């Protein structure tokens, strides 16, 4: 592109220079010729008054000599009154040309050896016509023409060089953004997702850079969504795996039971590996918040998931309680995401507490927020901050760290948050804050809980 632009400017400028310089050079030559013959006409005019007064040879010779052109001027007098024809000075023009001028009565120029001559007719007192011949050498006709042409050529060359330089700079200004765009495309194609292109240069290339950067951001977002989806789906597999593991633990002794327990353990390890792999290169992305009017009924989701976990709780002798789900509770999150988050927390209860440990789920509906509490009567978490750090992706032995991360991202997508504390049951309480208006809750704010009638429980109050 750069050299193409240079060649185009070179061709256009050369044509413009030729179009103007050639006619201008011809005009300069014609002006030099006109100047030379104008001087010759003035010299001839200087002799004309003397010819109209006298035809005496001596006087005329003095007049010709005083004109300062004795070597280039000649006077041709015709024969008259018994006087023969008289020629003063060196004659260069042919006799026929002189006679033609005398006969026609107007000035004429003719080419001679070494230049040209001006033949100027002058009327004498006797009624005859004399001819004044002024020699104009070729050097005088072309005087200054070479210099003028050299100046024109220099100006034309300077214009061409200047246009090429300007075209080259413009080409660089256009080519560099294009090269950066190509380089960014190659880097993105090689898997370097952080490749971006500076948004500068001509308007078209700047728009192309903006489109490229937008496309790269979209690619990163799509890959992040795929990783999150793979991790979330893999984590959801842990819910039925938890049931399988607990059921396998109750099979008793025997080769078949041991093989079943080993297979469940192996499957759980494979799922954990998938989760960790999907989260290793996770870019910094955030879950998109649902728009106004989107979301689900949190009470219905809690009732549905508790039906699933209650059967497993009865098998392990766990008492459980659920409250605040007798009326619809709308929150701005997707139903599947809320179910995954609730399964992750309840799965942690079954995975990390002993059989027979009680647990509860409470839903509190405030004016601007919905609070969901998942609590248990287990040993509790000694370091809640470390647990939340694991939830942000560091992982720990025996835990992928994804469960709390799923819950945290879901709450933050609404402007809420997640906190871990001690429950009234004596164990761990995970508080999920869903902000209904998208604003982040003020720290230290006291939240008023609404008392709701508990639903079917076997847990002592």
Are the beta carbons of 374 and 361 closer than 8 angstroms? yes
Give me the pLDDT at residue 443, please. Answer: 44
CA dihedral of 372, 377, 382, 383, whole degrees rounded to 10: -10
The reported pTM is 0.42
Are the beta carbons of 44 and 134 closer than 8 angstroms? yes
Q: What spatial distance separates the first Cα and last Cα of the chain, rounded to whole Å?
A: 80
299 closest CA partner among 256, 266, 335, 328: 328
* Longest distance between any two alpha carbons in the chain, whole Å: 166
294 closest CA partner among 331, 342, 261: 331
Give me the pLDDT at residue 283, please. Answer: 40
- CA 344 to chain centroid, in Å, comes to 44
| One pLDDT digit (tens) per residue for the chain, 461 residues | 667 777 788 888 888 888 888 888 888 888 988 888 888 888 888 777 777 677 677 777 777 766 655 467 888 888 766 666 777 778 888 888 888 888 888 888 888 888 888 888 888 766 778 888 888 888 888 888 888 888 888 888 888 888 888 888 777 777 788 888 888 888 888 877 788 888 877 788 888 888 988 888 888 888 777 766 766 666 667 667 777 777 777 777 777 777 777 777 777 766 666 666 655 544 433 343 333 345 789 999 999 989 888 888 888 899 999 999 999 999 988 888 888 889 888 888 888 888 899 999 999 998 889 999 999 999 888 777 777 765 554 444 445 556 787 788 889 888 899 999 888 998 999 999 999 875 554 444 434 333 334 444 444 33
**Dist CA 225 CA 278 (whole Å):** 10
């Amino acid at each position: 592109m750069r050299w193409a632009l240079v060649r185009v400017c070179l061709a256009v400028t050369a044509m413009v220079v030729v179009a103007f310089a050639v006619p201008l050079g011809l005009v300069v030559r014609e002006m030099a010729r006109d100047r030379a013959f104008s001087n010759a006409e003035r010299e001839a005019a200087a002799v004309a008054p003397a010819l109209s007064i006298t035809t005496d040879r001596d006087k005329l010779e003095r007049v010709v000599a005083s004109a300062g052109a004795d070597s280039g001027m000649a006077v041709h007098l015709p024969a008259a009154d018994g006087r023969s024809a008289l020629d003063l000075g060196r004659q260069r023009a042919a006799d026929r040309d002189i006679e033609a001028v005398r006969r026609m009565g107007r000035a004429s120029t003719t080419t001679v050896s070494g230049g040209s001559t001006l033949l100027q007719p002058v009327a004498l007192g006797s009624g005859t016509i004399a001819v004044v011949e002024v020699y104009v050498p070729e050097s005088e006709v072309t005087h200054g023409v070479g210099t003028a042409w050299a100046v024109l050529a220099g100006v034309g060359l300077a214009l061409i060089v200047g246009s090429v330089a300007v075209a080259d700079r413009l080409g660089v200004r256009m080519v560099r953004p294009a090269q950066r765009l190509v380089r960014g495309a190659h880097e993105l194609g090689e898997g370097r997702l952080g490749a971006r292109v500076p948004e500068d240069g001509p308007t078209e290339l700047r728009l192309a850079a903006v489109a490229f950067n937008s496309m790269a951001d979209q690619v990163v977002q799509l890959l992040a969504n795929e990783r999150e989806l793979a991790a979330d789906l893999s984590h959801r597999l842990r819910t039925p795996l938890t049931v399988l593991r607990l059921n396998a633990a109750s099979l008793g002794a025997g080769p078949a039971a041991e093989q079943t327990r080993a297979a469940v353990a192996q499957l759980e390890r494979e799922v954990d590996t998938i989760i960790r792999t999907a989260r290793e290169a996770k870019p910094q992305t955030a879950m998109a918040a649902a728009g106004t009017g989107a979301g689900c009924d949190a009470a219905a989701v809690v009732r549905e998931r508790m039906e699933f976990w209650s059967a497993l709780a009865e098998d392990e002798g766990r008492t459980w309680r659920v409250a605040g789900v007798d009326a619809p509770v709308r929150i701005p999150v997707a139903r599947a995401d809320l179910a995954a988050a609730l399964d992750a927390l309840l799965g942690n209860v079954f995975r990390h507490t002993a059989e027979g440990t009680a647990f509860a789920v409470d839903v509190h509906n405030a004016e601007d927020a919905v609070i969901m509490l998942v609590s248990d009567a287990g040993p509790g978490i000694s370091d809640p901050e470390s647990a939340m750090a694991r939830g942000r992706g560091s992982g720990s032995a025996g835990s992928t760290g994804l469960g709390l991360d799923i819950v945290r991202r879901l709450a933050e997508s609404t402007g809420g948050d997640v906190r871990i504390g001690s429950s009234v049951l004596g164990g761990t309480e995970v508080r999920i804050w869903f902000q209904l208006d998208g604003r982040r809750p003020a720290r230290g704010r006291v939240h008023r809980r609404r008392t709701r009638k508990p639903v079917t429980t076997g847990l002592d109050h």
